[in-house]
Amino acid sequence: MAQKIIIDTDPGQDDAVAILLALASPDAVEVLGITCVAGNVPLPLTARNARMVCELAGRPDIAVFAGCDRPLQRPLVTAEHVHGKTGLDGIDLPEPRMPLQDRHAVDFLIETLRREPAGSVTLVPIGPLTNIATAMERAPDIVPRIGRIVLMGGAYFEVGNITPAAEFNIHVDPEAAARVFASGVELTVVPLDVTHKALTTRQRVEAFSAMPGKIGPAVASWTDFFERFDKQKYGSEGAPLHDPCTIAWLIEPGLFDGRFINVEIETEGRFTAGMTVADWWRVTDRAPNATFLRDMDADGFFALLHDRLARL
């Protein structure tokens, strides 16, 4: 039976690919809705982009909700330098015709978690954790009802990609991340340590480009756009395709490997705010609170992605 999920997102080209992978996999995941948050670009653009991606996939029936337009306590940091001014630069898509839902994303999260059987809904945040933390604070009764949270964020061995110590999603709203990591909900963390192995090499991009229909060429165009930044920064042959790794883990967890460890979020450090302090070597007595992934089968991941996207 398909796992019920809510994708919480700030699209972003890699967020868009994650949404497409989920919508292409109804046998594995049932998308109850998509909640949008400010992150890669401001909220009006993330809500627009999510609907554009749903329409690209032929799924205008998916409910999309706009959520928090700023972090809990900090000014918003965005990433147009990576994703372009729209967040989905790289291909021209028509303006969305499907409506944005009139409920706030946080209200949708709370109502859905109260309505669905306890433990049956997985949250998949692939942007800053502001919406999730706000829902937990506003309605503490939903916390034990969450089945698990599978999030893209953080780093340990790969350190930071927006500061020397912090990964972007956690850096944007570390206070929200701290609340989520302290919630007691079962967490699976997909950090840069994994996603930096999911590289969009030229051969992989060309395979997407050669797919029939609209989906593969769109993915190729997006990756061609945003990989320029990471190739220059890291000197790698491609760019990390971060966010789809969360959906891939839900579909085929055997592609990944990690440890159940303690992960704390630094909120006060002068140079380290937003750092995920992962006790990989278990040198403290802090209780484990997250399955922190470190390795993946990149070829298997791209084979899964190619196979699933070809179904749309």
Cβ contact 306:24 at 8 Å: no
Backbone angles phi, psi at 8, to 5 degrees: -110, 120
DSSP 3-state percent helix, strand, coil across the chain (nearest 5): 40, 20, 45
Instruction: Determine the Cα–Cα distance for residues 178 and 264; give it in Å rounded to an integer.
Output: 7
User: Is-contact 270 219, C-beta < 8 A?
Assistant: no
Query: Which residue do the tokens 């891939």 mark?
Result: 248
Out of 171, 196, 242, 306, the active site residue is 242
* Residue 166 near residue 264 (C-beta atoms within 8 A): no
d(CA 34, CA 9): 7
Amino acid at 129: L
Strand (E) or helix (H) holding 205: helix 202-209
Give me the sign of the Cα torsion angle 160, 168, 265, 301. Answer: negative
119 in the Ramachandran plot: left (φ > 0), alpha (ψ -120 to 50) or beta? Answer: left
Indicate the residue type of 83: H
Short-list 280, 297, 224, 271, CA closest to 17: 224
Using CA atoms, how far apart are residues 108 and 103, in angstroms rounded to an integer? 7
Which tokens belong to 210?
């050669």
- 15 touches 247 (CB < 8 A): no
User: Active site includes 242?
Assistant: yes
Contacts of 165 (CB under 8 A, 6+ apart): 159, 266, 269, 271, 272, 273, 274, 275
Catalytic (active-site) positions: 242
